[in-house]
């Protein structure tokens, strides 16, 4: 089955270089998103780091057996070309907004919303069955195959990126209301939903039955590798501040560790 490395929210950090160097034998490397909006790393440094990640992807994929997947996070989405709402997310960098937008315009082909590796469905924050139901997704038999979920989300992002805006208040079909501004609502999209709502809404869904979800977005002290709080169906990997990342090899999960050097 091979080896896959899952790297959590970057936010301008270059620790990914250590991770990929130490796992050069990996078949797949997944960056879970959020390349920008650091509170302590200058914007120009964040941009340079993001450019290096893209160059790494292009170089590594000269070997057809090596794949690198760059997912979009909520802290990237508001800089993406065509997205209509900007500036409401914490850390938004107005001074670098146009440079970040140009970066995504030039490199759009290298970014995606989701990837499915085996039965591991990877998005920035997680896929809610309620979000999918609101689009009528599950009513189409042709989309029930295992590759369909990721493919459908990637097509939606490509052609309708504004469908991934934060939705405070009512869901898209006006069937529920919340004043929550944190994203802890069951209808939230794969850039914004929080772990409590993600696990609750998917409790009896096909998503939980068919997929293990690997997501970032909500910072954790450590990865719950034993599945005590997740039943082994979710791995939350926004853990780079503590030096942890996720490794899957031949169907077994374990935690990798890297050395974090704080930017000065």
**What's the pTM?**
0.93
pLDDT tens for each residue of 176-222: 556 667 788 898 999 999 999 999 999 988 888 889 999 999 999 99
Q: Which stretch of DSSP H or E encloses residue 116? A: strand 115-117
Confidence of residue 85 (pLDDT cuts 50, 70, 90): confident
Check residue 141 and give its pLDDT.
Answer: 47
- C-alpha dist (Å) from residue 15 to 53, 59, 242, 263: 11, 18, 11, 11
pLDDT, averaged across the chain: 90
Burial class from Cβ neighbours inside 10 Å (0-12, 13-18, 19+) for residue 65 reads exposed
Structure-token pair, residue 145: 């195959």
Strands (E) in the chain, as ranges, are: 3-7, 28-31, 67-71, 111-112, 115-117, 120-122, 169-170, 177-178, 212-215, 234-236, 244-249, 252-257
Query: Does the pLDDT value for residue 92 go beyond 80?
Result: yes
Contact assessment for residue 10 and residue 35, using Cβ atoms and an 8 Å cutoff: yes
Q: Report the pLDDT value the prediction gives residue 259, as an integer from 0 to 100.
A: 84
List, for residues 130-143, the tens digit of each pLDDT value: 898 887 765 434 44
Helix, strand or coil for residue 213?
strand
């Amino acid at each position: 089955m091979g080896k896959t490395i899952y790297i959590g929210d970057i936010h301008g950090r270059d620790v990914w270089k250590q991770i990929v160097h130490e796992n050069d034998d990996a078949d797949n490397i997944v960056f879970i998103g959020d390349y920008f909006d650091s509170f302590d790393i200058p914007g120009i440094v964040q941009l340079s780091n993001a450019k290096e990640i893209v160059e790494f992807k292009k170089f590594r994929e000269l070997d057809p057996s090596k794949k690198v997947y760059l997912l979009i996070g909520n802290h990237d989405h508001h800089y993406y070309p065509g997205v209509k709402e900007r500036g409401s997310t914490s850390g938004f960098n107005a001074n670098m907004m146009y440079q970040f937008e140009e970066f995504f315009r030039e490199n759009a082909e290298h970014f995606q919303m989701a990837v499915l590796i085996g039965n591991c469905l990877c998005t920035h924050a997680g896929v809610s069955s309620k979000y999918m139901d609101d689009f009528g997704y599950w009513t189409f038999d042709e989309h029930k195959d295992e590759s369909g979920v990721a493919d459908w989300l990637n097509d939606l992002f490509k052609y309708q990126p504004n469908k991934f805006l934060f939705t405070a208040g009512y869901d898209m079909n006006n069937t529920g209301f919340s004043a929550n501004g944190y994203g802890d609502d069951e209808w939230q999209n794969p850039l914004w939903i929080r772990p409590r709502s993600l696990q609750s809404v998917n409790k009896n869904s096909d998503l939980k039955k068919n997929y293990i979800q690997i997501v970032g977005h909500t910072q954790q002290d450590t990865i719950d590798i034993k599945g005590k709080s997740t039943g082994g169906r979710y791995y939350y990997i926004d853990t780079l501040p503590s030096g942890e990342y996720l490794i899957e090899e031949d169907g077994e999960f374990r935690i990798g560790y890297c050395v974090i050097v704080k930017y000065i």
